[in-house]
Structures are given as C-alpha cells and as structure tokens.
C-alpha cells in the first residue's frame, strides 16, 4: 500500500497544524468503512492508543519476538501508522489489507451491497476490544506459568539433600525464615494471576467508549424496582421531525408506562402488573458516540424507510440539559466528527465523514477526496423541516444528506492536561 496523488485542497494544505489529511480509496461500496475509519483516526485518544499498539508490534518484530496473529486491530494499527507516517500533508492511501480483513472476518461486509456504517462501527469496536481482552488473558496465563515455575524451582532449591548432614535447629529456622517470604510472595502472585484469568479484562477501548445504562422497571402495585445494568459503546436515539439532539437524549431517559398487552411480570407480586420503565444513564464515556435512528421499518410500506427529519445537533453538548440523575451530568462534550448518510433510501446512498481539525476548521473526507468545508455546510446535514416522500426508488429529489453518527469528546477537566487524557497505557489485566 502506498500513498497516491490526488489534487489536494489548498485550504487543507495550509491548515496551521501538524495533522495528515489523507483520504481512503474506495474498493466498491466501502464508503461505510472509510467514513468510520476517518472518525476513529481523528479521535485523538483512540488514535494514540492504536499507534502505541502498532509501535509495540514493530518493536517486537525488530527483536524477533512472537507477534499476535493478524486481526482487525493489527490491520488498523498498520493503516494508522501508514497515514501518520506520511511526509506530505494531503493525499490518499489504499486500505486494501484492512478491507480484506473486514471481508474475511465478517460475511455481512463481504459483499458489494450497501452497508450500514453504524453496524460496522459497533462491530469493529467490539472486535478490537475482544482482541485486546484475548491478549490480556494470554499475558495473565504467562504470568501464572512463570510464577508457578519460579515457585517450584524455589521449593526444590530449599529441600535438604537426603544424605546431607542435618543442620542445627537454629540454622533450620533461619533458613526457613529466609526462604518463606519469597515463597509466600510467589504463591500470592500465582493466586492473583489465576484470579486475573477468570475476571473480565478491561481495555482502553472500554475506557474510551464504554458507558453504562441502568434499565429500571417499577411495579405500580408493590413499588418494587427491578434494575439491570447494561454497557454500551454508543446510544441509538429515536428521532422526530424538527427535534434537537438534546430532546432526543431527554426522550431516551424518559419514563414509559407498561400496561394493557405490555404489562410487566413482577416477581414480588407473582403476576403481570402495570409498571413504569426507564433507561437511566449511569456512567458516560470520554468519547460519546450517538447514533440517530434514521432507518425505520414501516409496516404500511412493508420495508425500511429513511427518515428525512431535521435533527439539530450542537458543537458543544452539555449533558446537564439531557439528564438530571447521572453522576456525570455536569460533563460537557465537543463535537469532533459526523458520519453523514447521503441518499433518500436505506439500501442506497453514500457515506462521508466530516471532521473538525484542532484549529477549528471542518474537513470533509469523501473516500479519496479531502476538502475543507464551512460550519454552514455541516449544519446543512441537520435534515429537512418537512418530510419528502419519493414515489420511486430511483427518483431524484431534494438534498438528502443527513447526520447519522455523531462523535463527541468530553471537554478536558480543569487541571488535567491533554497529554494526561491521551496518554497510551497498557492493558488492564
């Protein structure tokens, strides 16, 4: 894979920062993949972790150490290193190895059909975290084996030879006291390593993207509250005509009454009862990924339909305006990327990524093409104030570019530097 030349955008070339702005070649309906990759590359803490991982792989290869088998993470690290290492500011690269791996790993993405960018993002984050978890468990097993071997060797060294002269009682006690601490520490280390193999491994993907929801259901008869915690990498939000992102988030946590045919089976009452249900945000991640549910199955049509609703979203999202009982409700987030779906139908169209640079300039990544855009152009993907209903699948219509995935990053806290926020770290084991 090598960088190829396309006519670079003059504004992008002259941006006052040290970023590389490289498009990605489309291999036939891979725009869903390219747009998601651009948003992840310009998610600074995520990029730094992937580059750190890639550098470790390169160091291991240079020292002839065993490398993990090729997977989505190794291919992603190779691609990010390639873009990050370019000497030019603009151009495009061919993510051939990465796309080939995607098709090999997931049959859903192996065809040339139109794919869903949100499904791909969710699958990719889960696949990467699983690869890191597997490495973490392998590291724990190695530590456990090493501790067991060290303990075994220490025990064999401490055993007295059968034909040796018996030491005095004082000498024996001194020897045991000298050996016991090291054997005890080794035993403790082996126990901790064994416990680490059995508990979930938390990775930097979890640290960046994973939040927590609490699904609460309150029986209206006995007032018993049933709670269930759920982890999430993104929030999928229902949308309405002429709404805002803030109202969508408010509705996400609103209370719903379960009655009639939707009654709740209460374990305390032992029967179906009317109840109130809500999804409560319990923990927010540093990188908040929001998915607008623009594709909906319509029973009257017997098929999926794209909702052309106008949904406004802010540059800065204050969570205190969307929830009142989340511990992170005082968090503020800045918008740094938008995945846009272009087209009037769920099974056709195109994806592009809009990214905000460190200096505040917005840039559009449309596969190989990279161009500077204005804030007004970003706002143009909010949607329409009135719905448009084409009569035919191939009928050209109004401007149909809509924000689909919104990526926000938590504003750094006072007294915490950007370096502290983005510092790469090793796996939690």
Catalytic residue numbers, as ranges: 31, 350
Q: What does the angle CA 220 – CA 222 – CA 226 come to, to the nearest 5 degrees?
A: 80
State how far the Cα of 37 lies from the Cα of 31, in Å rounded to an integer. Answer: 10
State how far the Cα of 122 lies from the Cα of 142, in Å rounded to an integer. Answer: 31
Phi, psi of 26 (to 5 degrees): -95, 125
Closest to 268 (Cα-Cα) out of 233, 301, 220: 220
Cross-strand bridge partners of residue 287: 409
Query: Is residue 65 classed as helix, strand or coil in its secondary structure?
Result: coil
Query: How far apart, in Å, are the Cα atoms of 78 and each of 54, 56, 72, 74, 286?
Result: 7, 12, 10, 6, 25
Contact (Cβ atoms closer than 8 angstroms) between residue 322 and residue 246 = yes
Contact (Cβ atoms closer than 8 angstroms) between residue 120 and residue 109 = yes
369 token code pair: 């093409």
Residue carrying structure tokens 């992102």? 245
Phi, psi of 363 (to 5 degrees): -130, 135
Contact (Cβ atoms closer than 8 angstroms) between residue 354 and residue 372 = no
- Give the CA count within 13 Å in the CB-facing half-sphere of 316: 8
Contact (Cβ atoms closer than 8 angstroms) between residue 370 and residue 363 = yes
Strand boundaries in 252-324, DSSP class E: 256-258, 264-266, 271-273, 275-283, 287-292, 295-298, 303-306, 311-312, 316-318
DSSP 8-state code for residue 384: B
32 token code pair: 């869903």
Q: What is the CA radius of gyration of the chain?
A: 27
394 token code pair: 């191939």
Q: Taking the CA atoms of 49, 51, 57 and 58 in sequence, report the sign of the dihedral they define.
A: negative
Contact (Cβ atoms closer than 8 angstroms) between residue 140 and residue 426 = no
* 56 burial type by CB count under 10 A (0-12 exposed, 13-18 middle, 19+ buried): middle
């Amino acid at each position: 894979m090598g960088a190829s030349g396309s006519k670079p955008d003059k504004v992008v070339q002259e941006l006052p920062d040290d970023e590389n702005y490289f498009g990605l070649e489309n291999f036939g309906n891979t725009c869903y993949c390219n747009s998601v990759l651009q948003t992840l590359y310009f998610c600074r803490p995520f990029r730094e972790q992937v580059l750190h991982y890639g550098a470790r792989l390169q160091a291991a290869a240079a020292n002839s150490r065993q490398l993990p088998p090729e997977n989505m993470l190794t291919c992603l690290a190779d691609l990010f290193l390639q873009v990050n290492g370019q000497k030019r500011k603009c151009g495009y690269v061919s993510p051939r190895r990465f796309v080939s791996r995607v098709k090999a790993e997931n049959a859903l993405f192996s065809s040339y059909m139109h794919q869903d960018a949100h499904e791909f993002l969710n699958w990719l984050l889960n696949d990467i975290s699983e690869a890191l978890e597997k490495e973490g468990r392998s590291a724990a097993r190695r530590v456990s084996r090493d501790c067991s071997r060290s303990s075994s060797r220490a025990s064999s060294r401490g055993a007295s030879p059968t034909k040796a002269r018996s030491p005095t009682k004082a000498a024996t006690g001194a020897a045991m006291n000298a050996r016991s601490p090291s054997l005890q520490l080794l035993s403790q280390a082996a126990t901790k390593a064994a416990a680490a193999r059995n508990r979930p491994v938390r990775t930097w993907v979890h640290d960046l993207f994973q939040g927590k929801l609490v699904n609460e259901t309150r029986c209206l008869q006995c007032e018993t509250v049933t709670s269930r915690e759920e982890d999430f990498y993104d929030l999928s939000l229902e949308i309405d005509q002429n709404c805002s992102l803030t109202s969508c988030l408010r509705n996400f946590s609103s209370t719903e009454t379960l009655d009639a045919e939707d009654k709740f089976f209460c374990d305390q009452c032992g029967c179906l009862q009317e109840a109130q249900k809500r999804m409560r945000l319990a923990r927010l991640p540093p990188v908040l990924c929001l998915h607008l549910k623009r594709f909906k199955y319509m029973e009257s049509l017997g098929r999926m339909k794209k909702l052309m609703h106008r949904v406004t979203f802010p540059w800065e999202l204050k969570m205190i305006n969307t929830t009142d009982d989340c511990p992170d409700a005082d968090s503020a987030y800045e918008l740094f990327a938008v995945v846009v779906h272009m087209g009037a139908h769920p099974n056709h169209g195109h994806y592009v990524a809009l990214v905000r640079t460190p200096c505040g300039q917005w840039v559009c990544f449309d596969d190989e093409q990279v161009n500077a855009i204005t804030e007004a152009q970003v706002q143009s993907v909010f949607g329409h104030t009135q719905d448009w209903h084409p009569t035919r699948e191939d009928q050209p219509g109004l401007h149909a570019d809509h924000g689909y995935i919104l990526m926000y990053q938590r504003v750094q806290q006072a007294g915490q530097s950007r370096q502290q926020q983005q510092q790469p770290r090793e796996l939690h084991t």
